[in-house]
Structure 1
Amino acid sequence: MMDDRIETAEHAWHGLRVLLLEQHDRRKEVAEALGMSFNRVKALRRIANQPCTLRSLAEFMVIDAPYATVIVDDLAKRGLVERTANPADRRSKLVRVTPPGRAAAEEGNRILDTPPDALLALPPDDLAALDRIVTRLLD
């Protein structure tokens, strides 16, 4: 009985991975639209969500601190983020989004959140069931 559950979960997970990362991967689209690598887009979206230190950004992105610095330097050069004093620790800086950075992050979110046509074509009951399941998985 448990083997069936595991097999079904693996099948569902495989399907989700293929759906999101192969058939409807929006990472290339958002990178092209914003004119930067997807890692920079990911960092910008994180910073727009909440100012952070370079260390916390590196941890979030699962990258080393020097690479996080390279990404933030590039975003700052583009005028999308700025470094400010960290009131909690004067030895570190907080990275904050600028108004143009917020607009770019919002555009990135809009592109990434655009559902594929196949999802929009689902019957309303199936779509509602999928929404319920995804919400449960995110809790």
Structure 2
Amino acid sequence: MTAPRELDPADPAVRAWGRMRALVVDQHDRRREACEAVGLSFVRVKALLEVAREPGTLSDLADRLSVDRPYATVVVDELQKRGLVRREHHPDDRRCKIVSATPDGLRAAATARAILGDPPPVLRALPAEDLAQLDRILAAL
């Protein structure tokens, strides 16, 4: 492993990244709130959000979560035990199962999505012009 390179605090990109990270991760991280609201760890919340957005195979889900397939199986097993997802035969390949959200899973995903997507008050307090400019800049990234 190589040593990390030194970051220049005068570099505008380093400063901007640090401020974005602080805003989202350090000051207004909603992951804990979302996890508590639906009673799941964050990786399970992420998996449920993915499955609610688009059903798919375990391999698809593992790729979308950047985890290995055995771990995706563990996550889906837990979600299935809680009645949040179901496995059904793939219509074209009987060796595969499609994982999809149940109605309870869709409700839990909607709760988590609402919590995670709610902007913090400091962001809502910005003038409309600043929000439009910030949105334009972030969209360009």
TM superposition score normalised by structure 2: 0.89
Separation in structure 1 between the aligned mates of residue 107 and residue 79 of structure 2, nearest angstrom: 13
Correspondence 1:86-97 to 2 at 5 A: 86-97=90-101
Q: Which amino acid aligns with 1:77?
A: K
Are 1:106 and 2:110 counterparts? Answer: yes
Q: Which amino acid aligns with 2:96?
A: S
Separation in structure 1 between the aligned mates of residue 57 and residue 88 of structure 2, nearest angstrom: 10
Partner residue, 2:131: 127
SS at match of 2:139: helix
Separation in structure 2 between the aligned mates of residue 84 and residue 56 of structure 1, nearest angstrom: 14
| Residue 135 of structure 1, CA deviation | 2.2
Are 1:50 and 2:54 counterparts? Answer: yes
Q: Which amino acid aligns with 1:59?
A: D
- CA-atom RMSD in angstroms: 1.5
Separation in structure 2 between the aligned mates of residue 45 and residue 13 of structure 1, nearest angstrom: 26
Partner residue, 1:78: 82
Separation in structure 2 between the aligned mates of residue 73 and residue 93 of structure 1, nearest angstrom: 13
| More displaced 10-residue stretch of structure 1: 35-44 or 8-17 | 8-17
SS at match of 1:129: helix
Larger proportion of helix: 1
Separation in structure 2 between the aligned mates of residue 41 and residue 99 of structure 1, nearest angstrom: 15
For structure 2, the residue ranges without an aligned partner over 5 or more in a row are 1-7
Partner residue, 1:59: 63
For structure 1, the residue ranges without an aligned partner over 5 or more in a row are none
Separation in structure 2 between the aligned mates of residue 68 and residue 113 of structure 1, nearest angstrom: 24
Q: How many residues align?
A: 133
| Residue 88 of structure 1, CA deviation | 3.1
Q: Which amino acid aligns with 1:60?
A: R
| Residue 84 of structure 1, CA deviation | 0.6
Are 1:28 and 2:32 counterparts? Answer: yes
Q: Which amino acid aligns with 1:52?
A: G
| Residue 33 of structure 1, CA deviation | 0.7
Partner residue, 1:19: 23
